[in-house]
Chains A and B, each alone.
Chain A
Amino acid sequence: MSAILPPSERIWWKTPVGKEEIVWILLALIWCIIMFAMMPIWHIYGKQNLSNEAYKTTPVQYEAKVKAMTEQHTIRTQLVGGVDVPVVAPPAGSDVYMLARLWSWYPMLELKKGESYRLHLSSLDWQHGFSLQPININLQVLPEYEMVITITPDTSGEFTIVCNEYCGILHHTMLGKIYVTE
């Protein structure tokens, strides 16, 4: 009479299945197919999608790109822990670079509301987590991989990047900034 004994019917695979089980399996299957379909549908009609663009890189190569952008477009600096961190305002539509390293995001960015930017992300050392707050967009940042994602800020103000992949002893001090102007 129970699940801890062999099935009572030797040919159990030919016994009929109860009505509620059949109805439930059908309902659940339909729901599973809807959930499956939602992801491609959102790629077509939705506005928030992951990018499929990524490149292999090296810390040296990537840092050089960040440096080139910073030298060209720095508009001011901000003092963090006694060091001047550049705030960079690249032109709308351009490639903007941000790097993650133990334990900072570099540089700070200033973007224009409603404009699109190709944001590049990579790490110079360990894994980091790009968590844009209070918007709450979260991406994984890996060393040797350069992710490119097109973002269009549609709110203005000061935004903070929290590192949300544990990266060692000062992980919790790793903050970055993106400023969005009207």
Chain B
Amino acid sequence: MSQYRICPDTGLYFDRASEGLIKANAVAGVVALLIGGVLALLVGLTRWPAVHLLDAPDFYLVLTAHGINALIFWLIFFEIAILYFASSSLLRCRLATPRWAWAGFALMLIGAVMTNVAIFQGNSSVMMTSYAPMEAAPHFYLGMILFAVGALIGCFVFLGTLVIAKEEKTYVGSIPLVTFGALTACIIAVFTIASGAIILIPSFLWSIGLIGQIDALMYRVIWWGMGHSSQQLNVAAHVSVWYAVAAIAFGAKPMSEKVSRTAFLLYIFFLQLASAHHILADPGLSSTWKIFNTSYAMYLAVLASMIHGLTVPGSIEVAQRKKGFNNGLFEWLRKAPWGNPVFSGVFISIIGFGFIGGITGVVMGTEQINLIIHNTLYVPGHFHATVVLGTTLTFMSLTYFLIPVLFRREMIMPGLAKWQPYLFSGGMVVFTLVMMGAGTLGVPRRHWDVGFAQAAEMGLKFEFPGSATMMLGLVGISAVVAVLGGIIFILITVGSIVWGKKLEKSAGLMQSFGFALAPSCYTSEKLEPVKGPAADLEEHGSGGFEAPGTFVLALVLLVTFVVYYFINWKYLSSVWPMG
């Protein structure tokens, strides 16, 4: 049967229907990323005080479109592709109901186009959050609803595929860790979409006049049930990809299946609560409610991320030490394939997500500290570290892997691809830091005129310190660098798919990045159940540390976290007493 293709390079299986859907979703995602990236450039050049490119109405329109394309459409299209890959390919199973999957894809596409049309027509510059009672055009909400319904169908296709794989016994034992992580993402996605439906459907009915009023606080509470969960969905998805890349690039085995799976489970149990940290400065919600919910019941979802932060690089370290890179604390890391964008992007993502995105997210989600951060530029600074350095960079890395494996094309410009993760992440690291710096000085987010020139004409004068202006300049410059990195990514990936040399048989493409694939990936047996390899019993027998280098890195993270956390309490204690 030709229903399955076996990738000669990796031994991965592709169900024919699933393969087409993975391609379609990944390509739609990259198109959304391109749109989001071009808009990001316009936003960045307007934030740069010396350039101040767009006028106010265009800026607010472009900022709305940037958020929705980059934060929602790009990531969710790509995540649907990951769901199909993690179920059908990793379990060597046919995809459930491919026609439904295509219907879901069509709905997502129609929805994405419809919302974009609404925004660019100019009557829906309401920002991604579209806070009621500010009103967008009806098809703005309708497009979002259609997109969400399509994504929901994708989730059920994924779940159906898991059921089929179990029924048809295509694997032995438990599902792989990466599939488990994808299942986590899927469960969170269903919760996300349900919250979205509860708030977007009434908003749509309100916009066409069938409902009289939407309560502002109710909107915020429920909208963030979608808004925050969708970010945790990104986290679950990109952490799964981290594990996948560690497995693909190093043959790394999870340090402990139990620990990693429990950490994913903590995401499911505790992150829905986290939406509260977006509404800490709101009236009408009690401190008790805020404290319990923002701390995810004692920060157990944060604990989960801290666990993954140790176990992913830890598993790489163990695998590298087995290969003989066993000297000192960090030989395993020095000798890692830094020229391979699949690895380098993921590793930078782990560091950036942990040190910048993670720490700042928890700090600003502290009930009282939020008072000095809420709605300042610090907020987008933080979430660009989680979403762009964390999720987008990880998905870019995975895309480099998919070009030869899924699309069977030779990558064009491999020399440029080597540098792309560094250029992109370098820009983004500076961007997030200076944005948070400006936010710490009080500069507001979503604001066209932070020099307040127009207000001054009316007789109201105010200026932020010169250091804020300087940092806003750096925001602009670093945004340009990051967008350049993004454009190179799209050039390479789209160029490879269109013009890249077709790969007929094993081309050893991955090796051209400087390392061989794990031997276990080279199998080309016929469709037999996916088995776990024989147990490696000596693994945890010794009393010593298996991954001391990673442990030291984790301790550095913890110290940074503690210091930065208390610096913010100190800053808070200097503002006017209030209560």
Contact = CB atoms under 8 A, between A and B. Distances in A.
Contacts of B253: 1-3, 8
Contacts of A19: 543-546
A75 interface: no
A5 B290 CA distance: 41
A52 B458 CA distance: 36
Interface string B520-540: 100000000011111110001
Interface in A76-97: 78-81
A6 B251 contact: no
B247 to A, nearest CB: 3
B448 A172 contact: yes
A64 interface: no
Given A133-B462, A137-B575, A154-B576, A12 B258 contact: yes
Interface string A41-52: 011001111111
Contact of A21 (B125, B311, B579): B311
Interface string A27-58: 11101110110111011001111111010000
Contacts of A166: 60, 127, 131, 446-447
A169 interface: yes
Contacts of B545: 18-20
A137 B518 CA distance: 54
B216 interface: yes
A32 B530 CA distance: 38
Nearest to A150: B579
Nearest to B129: A166
A36 B532 contact: no
Contacts of B302: 28, 32, 35
Contacts of A47: 573, 577-579
Contact of B372 (A4, A29, A42, A136): A136
Interface in A99-150: 121, 125-127, 129, 131-147, 149-150
Contacts of A153: 576
A98 interface: no
A182 B171 CA distance: 76
- Name, among A3, A12, A19, A173, the residue most crowded by chain B CB atoms within 10 Å (CB to CB): A3
Given A12-B257, A50-B287, A162-B462, A3 B244 contact: yes
Interface in B398-413: none
A168 B107 CA distance: 30
A160 interface: yes
B247 A2 contact: yes
Given A39-B295, A54-B283, A9 B535 contact: yes
B578 A163 contact: no
Given A46-B573, A173-B458, A137 B534 contact: no
Interface residues of A, number: 92
A40 B291 contact: yes
A49 B369 CA distance: 9
Contact of B303 (A13, A18, A25): A25
B551 interface: yes
Contacts of B177: 3-4, 7
Contact of B455 (A5, A36, A142, A175): A175
B556 interface: no
B452 interface: yes
A155 interface: yes
B577 A154 contact: yes
B520 A5 contact: yes
Given A4-B247, A155-B576, A139 B536 contact: no
A3 B448 contact: no
A172 B376 CA distance: 13
B464 interface: yes
Interface string B48-59: 000000001100
Contact of A32 (B298, B455, B577): B298
Contacts of A40: 291
A73 interface: no
Contacts of B371: 48, 50, 137-139
B209 interface: no
Nearest to A14: B258
Given A48-B368, A127-B216, A36 B444 contact: no
Contacts of B283: 54, 121, 140-142, 145-147
B373 interface: yes
B147 interface: no
A39 B291 contact: yes
Contacts of A51: 578-579
Contacts of A49: 287, 368, 578-579
Given A28-B307, A129-B444, A139-B374, A15 B577 contact: no
Contacts of A10: 172-174, 532
A155 B284 CA distance: 29
Contacts of B460: 80, 160, 175, 177
Given A126-B131, A137-B576, A152-B578, A21 B259 contact: yes
Given A38-B569, A151-B578, A173-B458, A5 B531 contact: yes
Contacts of B366: 35, 38-39
A7 B260 CA distance: 12
A146 B531 CA distance: 61
Given A48-B368, A50-B368, A131-B442, A164 B287 contact: no
B577 A20 contact: no
Contacts of B533: 1, 5, 8
A155 to B, nearest CB: 7
A43 B366 CA distance: 12
Contacts of B454: 170, 172-173
**Which 9 A-B pairs rank lowest in CB-CB distance, beginning with the nearest?**
A2-B247, A147-B283, A164-B444, A32-B299, A81-B458, A172-B449, A54-B283, A138-B374, A12-B257
26 contacts: A1-B533, A1-B536, A4-B247, A6-B175, A8-B532, A16-B540, A17-B259, A18-B255, A21-B256, A21-B259, A42-B368, A46-B573, A48-B572, A48-B575, A48-B578, A51-B579, A81-B458, A129-B374, A133-B462, A160-B462, A164-B375, A169-B125, A171-B448, A172-B447, A173-B455, A175-B452
Given A7-B173, A25-B307, 17 more contacts: A1-B251, A3-B252, A7-B177, A9-B535, A18-B540, A20-B546, A35-B295, A42-B569, A48-B573, A54-B284, A121-B283, A127-B131, A127-B134, A131-B376, A167-B134, A173-B455, A175-B460
